[in-house]
Amino acid sequence: MRFDIITIFPKIFDSYLNESIIKRAQKNKKIKINIINLRDFATDKHKTVDEKPYGGGPGMVFKIEPLIKALSKLSPDLVILFSASGKQFNSKIAGDFAKKYNHIVMIAGHYEGVDERIKKVIVNCKLSRYAGSRQAGKIIELSVGPYVLTGGELPAMIVIDAVSRHIPGVLGKMESLEEKRYGVGVPMYTRPEVFVYRGKKYPVPKVFLSGNHKEIDNWRKNHQR
């Protein structure tokens, strides 16, 4: 799986994408992540990638020219735009992405978003380099939650993390996917068996000490959050 992220803040990704499971997945060539600086595709000496919106209003809007230049160098199966009004991203969508697509491009917008015409250009891009992809002209608007963020960088990292865990080999064993076993959110415990704090004891539920894996499994299914 290949992920390309178009952004004006490429350094934001340095820490998260180079640690832990995501780092190992890249090293093992399970996923590939490219960070694309949109300013590299600006044509003026100031590297301008945004302008004031037509019709007035606060904030700035990403210009369509540098976006198209950046996209023209790629051949993705899917392009993702992040929007508070987009489809709510969830674990099922993440799993579907992992199965359906090999190359996802995410546009990490900022300020007031991106020029709306980018959607039509992508849909019509079967005449461009996208023609070689399995899902030419496929674009989707996603929201990662019922709130507004200052930019698309955090959503892009969320999508990479959530999708990557569904790719065989990223977590080691597919059984590691908690949602495949119990759904999402089950209580977990580890040593010590009894934790004492300010004179009060906090023991691990006895079922976990029983050695009866069937009962443990039933307990977890019955205590999903």
11: burial class by Cβ within 10 Å (0-12, 13-18, 19+)?
exposed
Peptide bond before 146: cis, by omega within 30 degrees of 0? no
- Interatomic CA distance for residues 86 and 134, integer angstroms: 23
Confidence check: pLDDT of 135 > 50? no
pLDDT averaged over the chain? 88
Query: How do beta strands 103-107 and 194-197 pair?
Result: unpaired
Question: Is the distance from CB of 107 to CB of 67 less than 8 angstroms?
Answer: yes
Residues 107 and 176: their CA atoms lie apart, in Å, by 30
pLDDT at position 173 is 66
pLDDT for 181 equals: 57
What's this model's pTM, rounded to 2 decimal places? 0.85
Q: Please name each of the domains of the chain with its CATH number.
A: 2-175 (3.40.1280.10), 182-222 (no CATH)
Q: Which of 45-54, 66-75, 118-127, 141-150 has the lowest mean pLDDT?
A: 118-127
Cβ contact 99:157 at 8 Å: no
6-58 pLDDT, tens digit per residue, is 999 999 999 999 999 999 999 999 999 999 999 999 989 999 999 999 998 88
How many other C-beta atoms can be found within 10 angstroms of the C-beta atom of residue 156?
A: 28
Alpha helix stretches (DSSP H) within 84-150: 91-100, 117-123
Percent of the chain having pLDDT more than 70?
Answer: 89
Q: Which of 32-41, 91-100, 160-169, 171-180 has the lowest mean pLDDT?
A: 171-180
Residue 177 has pLDDT above 80, yes or no: no
User: CA angle, 156 as apex, 155 and 160 as ends, to 5°?
Assistant: 115
pLDDT band per the 50, 70, 90 thresholds, residue 127: very low
